[in-house]
Amino acid sequence: MKDIIRDQEQDVKIERGDFVIDESDQQHIEDIFIAQKGEFKEFPLVGFGAINYIKSQTTDDEFKRDLKIQLEYDNYINSTIDTSEGIQNTKIII
């Protein structure tokens, strides 16, 4: 997918006086990963809320299942989630 790109500070990236439009899959995944349910008003069920999993008793399987469900809401169907280094170092591969 293509969308308007943000820079490291989450500001809209501008080059030569115009918005930068490029591949945005990674940006969309990060948005879903961080957002709480209800933050996307048009899609109130979307939002993983990663902060909720810090110091929780969630197992790796529950974490992967919940994240995979959220990614599927945005049509990332064949995602692979690697938690082999622990939830804090999770890698998402699509």
* pLDDT at res. 87: 62
Q: What are the mean pLDDT values of the chain's consecutive 10-residue runs (94 residues total)?
A: 92 95 92 94 93 86 91 88 70 64
* pLDDT at res. 45: 93
pTM of the model: 0.80
Query: Going by DSSP bridges, is the β-strand pair 14-15/18-19 parallel, antiparallel, or unpaired?
Result: antiparallel
Element (H, E) at 28: helix 25-34
* pLDDT at res. 60: 84
